[in-house]
C-alpha cells in the first residue's frame, strides 16, 4: 500500500467506515494509519466530516417525516386552532433549522481549521508549477538574449533559443505532437533530432483545452522516415502497468521508467493519467509507452511535493484532437501507424528504434 494518493486513501477509508473491508483488510488499514501519521490525521478529519454529514442528514429526514405527520393530522381532523402536535412541530421545526445551520457551519469550519482549503489551493498551485517554471525560464533566457544581442556584431544573426521541450512523430512524413504550453507565444519552432539535425516546423493546429499542439516539419532538408515503429493505444491502460518515456530535459535524450499510478489525472481529469516517472520541464510533450511499445500518453506536467506525481494526456485525447483538425489546415492526411515494430524487442532495442522519431522542440 506504499505511495497511496490522497484520493486512493480516502476511497479506502470510506470502505473502512462502511464496514466493507474484511477483517484482514481492516487490520491493514489500521496498521497503515499507525505507520503514517499524516494519513491518520486525514482519516480522523474525514471521519468527523462524514459523521457531521450523517447527523445533518438524519435531522433533515426527521424534519421531513414530522412535517408529513403534522400535515396528515391537520387534514384528517380539520383543526382550526393549533393543536399540541402542531405546536410541537413548530417548535421542532425551528430547532431542526438551527441544528442544520450549526452542523453546516461546523463542517465548513472544521475544513477551514484543518487547512483543507489551503491544501486544495496549494495542490492547484503545485500542479501549475511546471508551466510557471517554464515561463520563468523564458523570461530569464529572454533577458540574457537581450544582453547577448547588445554585444553581438551585425554579422552575427544567430537567433537565441527561448527554451526546449520534447515532441515526437505521429506520421512518417513530418507530423509531430507536443504540448500547447510548449509552443504558445512562439515566433518560430525548430525540431532537432538526436543526431543534431534541425528542421523548421509549422504550427498546424492547437488544442489548449487538452494542452496539445500539432506541428509539421516544413524544412526542405527533411526526408520522410521509415514507418513509425509504435502504435497509439486508444483504450485505457491498467493500473500498475510498466511504462517508460524518452525526452529532453537537457540537450540529450533521457530515459525514464515507472508505472501507471492512476487512471485519471489531476483532480480526476479523465483525459489524463497519473504516472510515477520523474519528469522535468524539458520532458513536456514526450511520449509515454507501455512495455510493448504502444504510445499511451503524452507528458504534460507534474505536481510538486509528491514524488513521482506526473501527468500524461491520454492517447485518445490526441486522436480526438487530430479528428478535429480542419481539412484545409493539413498538408496531407494524417494516418496513424497500425503496425507495431517494437513489441518483440527488448527495452534497449526499443529505445534505439525510437530515437529517430523523438525531437527536441526549440522555441524562438
Q: Is residue 59 in some structural domain? A: yes
Q: Is residue 122 in some structural domain? A: no
- Dihedral sign from CA coordinates of 290, 306, 285, 210: positive
308 pLDDT higher than 80: no
Query: Are 145 and 74 found together in one domain?
Result: no
- pLDDT at position 124 is 46
Query: Are 145 and 68 found together in one domain?
Result: no
145 pLDDT higher than 70: no
Domain encompassing residue 190: 128-152+159-364
343 pLDDT higher than 90: yes
Structural domain count of the chain: 2
Look over the chain and give the mean of its residue pLDDT values, rounded to a whole number: 79
Query: Are 191 and 324 found together in one domain?
Result: yes
- Pairing of the two strands 212-217 and 231-232: unpaired
346 pLDDT higher than 50: yes
Query: Are 344 and 309 found together in one domain?
Result: yes
Query: Are 103 and 138 found together in one domain?
Result: no
360 pLDDT higher than 80: yes
Query: Are 109 and 147 found together in one domain?
Result: no
135 pLDDT higher than 60: no
Q: Is residue 120 in some structural domain? A: no
Q: Is residue 1 in some structural domain? A: no
Query: Are 64 and 189 found together in one domain?
Result: no
184-228: pLDDT as tens digits: 988 899 999 999 999 999 999 999 999 999 999 989 899 888 889
251-275: pLDDT as tens digits: 888 999 999 999 998 888 899 999 9
- pLDDT at position 123 is 47
**Residue 232, strand partner residues:** 295
- pLDDT at position 9 is 79
Q: Is residue 32 within a helix (H) or strand (E), and if so which, with residue range?
A: helix 23-35
Query: Are 20 and 148 found together in one domain?
Result: no
Are the CB atoms for 302 and 309 separated by under 8 Å?
yes
Query: Are 222 and 285 found together in one domain?
Result: yes
361 pLDDT higher than 80: yes
Query: Are 132 and 58 found together in one domain?
Result: no
Which range is most confident: 10-19, 65-74, 131-140, 321-330? 321-330
Q: Which three cell numbers stand for residue 250?
A: 537537457
Average confidence (pLDDT) over 31-56:
80
Q: Is residue 123 in some structural domain? A: no
- pLDDT at position 162 is 56
Are the CB atoms for 360 and 191 separated by under 8 Å?
yes
116 pLDDT higher than 80: no
Lowest mean pLDDT among 101-115, 299-313, 340-354: 101-115
Query: Are 133 and 98 found together in one domain?
Result: no
Task: Assign residue 298 the CATH number of its domain.
Answer: 2.40.10.120
Query: Are 228 and 96 found together in one domain?
Result: no
Give the closest residue to 265 by CA, choosing from 216, 227, 339, 210. 210
Amino acid at each position: 500500500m506504499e505511495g497511496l494518493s490522497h484520493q486512493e486513501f480516502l476511497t479506502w477509508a470510506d470502505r473502512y467506515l462502511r464496514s466493507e473491508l474484511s477483517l484482514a483488510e481492516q487490520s491493514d488499514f489500521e496498521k497503515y494509519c499507525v505507520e503514517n501519521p499524516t494519513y491518520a490525521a486525514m482519516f480522523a478529519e474525514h471521519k468527523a466530516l462524514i459523521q457531521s454529514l450523517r447527523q445533518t442528514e438524519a435531522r433533515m429526514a426527521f424534519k421531513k417525516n414530522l412535517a408529513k405527520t403534522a400535515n396528515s393530522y391537520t387534514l384528517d381532523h380539520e383543526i382550526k386552532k393549533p393543536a399540541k402536535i402542531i405546536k410541537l412541530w413548530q417548535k421542532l421545526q425551528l430547532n431542526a433549522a438551527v441544528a442544520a445551520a450549526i452542523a453546516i457551519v461546523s463542517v465548513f469550519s472544521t475544513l477551514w481549521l484543518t487547512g483543507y482549503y489551503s491544501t486544495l489551493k496549494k495542490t492547484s498551485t503545485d500542479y501549475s508549477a511546471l508551466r510557471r517554471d517554464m515561463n520563468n525560464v523564458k523570461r530569464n533566457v529572454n533577458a540574457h538574449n537581450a544582453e547577448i544581442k547588445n554585444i553581438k556584431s551585425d554579422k552575427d544573426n544567430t537567433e537565441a533559443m527561448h527554451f526546449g521541450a520534447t515532441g515526437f512523430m505521429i506520421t512518417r512524413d513530418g507530423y509531430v505532437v507536443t504540448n500547447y504550453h510548449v509552443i504558445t507565444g512562439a515566433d518560430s519552432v525548430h525540431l532537432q533530432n538526436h543526431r543534431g539535425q534541425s528542421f523548421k516546423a509549422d504550427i498546424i493546429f492547437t488544442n489548449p483545452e487538452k494542452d496539445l499542439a500539432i506541428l509539421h516539419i516544413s524544412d526542405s532538408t527533411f526526408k520522410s522516415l521509415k514507418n513509425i515503429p509504435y502504435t497509439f493505444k486508444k483504450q485505457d491502460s491498467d493500473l500498475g502497468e510498466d511504462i517508460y518515456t524518452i525526452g529532453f530535459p537537457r540537450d540529450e535524450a533521457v530515459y525514464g521508467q515507472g508505472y501507471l499510478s492512476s487512471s485519471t489525472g489531476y483532480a480526476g481529469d479523465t483525459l489524463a493519467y497519473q504516472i510515477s516517472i520523474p519528469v522535468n520541464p524539458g520532458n513536456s510533450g514526450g511520449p509515454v509507452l507501455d512495455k510493448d511499445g504502444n504510445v499511451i500518453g503524452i507528458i504534460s506536467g507534474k505536481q510538486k511535493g509528491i514524488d513521482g506525481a506526473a501527468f500524461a494526456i491520454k492517447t485518445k485525447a490526441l486522436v480526438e484532437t487530430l479528428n478535429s483538425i480542419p481539412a484545409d489546415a493539413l498538408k496531407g492526411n494524417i494516418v496513424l501507424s497500425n503496425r507495431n515494430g517494437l513489441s518483440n524487442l527488448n527495452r534497449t532495442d526499443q529505445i534505439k528504434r525510437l530515437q529517430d522519431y523523438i525531437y527536441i522542440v526549440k522555441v524562438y
